[in-house]
Amino acid sequence: MKQYFKGALLILILIMAITGLKAGPPYFTDDPDPVKFHHWEYYLSTQDNFDVRNGSAAGSLPQVEVNYGVVPNVQLHLVVPLAYQFSSPQNFEMGYTSTEAGIKYRFVKEKKNIPEIGVFPIVEIPTVSDPRFADQKIQVFLPVWFQKSWNKFTSYGGAGYWINPGSGNKNWMFAGWQAQYDFSEFLTLGSELYFHTAVTTEDRAITGFTIGGSLNFTEHIHLIFSGGHSIVNENLATAYLGLYITY
Give the per-residue pLDDT at 133. Answer: 67
Q: What one-letter code names the amino acid at 38?
A: H
Alpha-carbon gap, residue 209 to 217, rounded angstroms: 26
Give the per-residue pLDDT at 55. Answer: 78
Give the per-residue pLDDT at 128. Answer: 77
Cβ(16)–Cβ(60) below 8 Å: yes
Q: How many helices (H) and strands (E) does the chain have?
A: 1, 14
Give the per-residue pLDDT at 234. Answer: 80
Give the per-residue pLDDT at 117. Answer: 98
Alpha-carbon gap, residue 80 to 97, rounded angstroms: 8
Domain ranges, ordered by start, for the chain = 2-246
Cβ(196)–Cβ(223) below 8 Å: no
> Would you identify the CATH topology of the domain 2-246?
Lipocalin (2.40.128)
- Classified as helix, coil or strand, 11 is helix
Give the per-residue pLDDT at 69. Answer: 98
Give the per-residue pLDDT at 51. Answer: 82
Give the per-residue pLDDT at 141. Answer: 97
Give the per-residue pLDDT at 91. Answer: 83
One digit per residue, the tens of pLDDT, for the chain of length 247 reads: 444 444 444 444 444 433 333 458 999 999 999 999 999 999 999 998 888 777 788 888 899 999 999 999 999 999 999 988 888 777 888 888 889 999 999 999 999 999 999 999 999 998 877 776 667 789 999 999 999 999 999 999 999 999 999 888 999 999 999 999 999 999 999 999 999 999 999 888 999 999 999 999 999 999 999 999 999 888 889 999 999 999 9
Alpha-carbon gap, residue 170 to 135, rounded angstroms: 12
Cβ(216)–Cβ(189) below 8 Å: no
- Using alpha carbons, select from 178, 83, 88, 80 the residue that is nearest to residue 133: 83
Alpha-carbon gap, residue 200 to 206, rounded angstroms: 12
Alpha-carbon gap, residue 5 to 132, rounded angstroms: 13
Cβ(130)–Cβ(99) below 8 Å: no
Give the per-residue pLDDT at 83. Answer: 85
- Classified as helix, coil or strand, 115 is coil
15 vs 82, 85, 150, 215, 241, CA distance in Å?
15, 12, 33, 28, 18
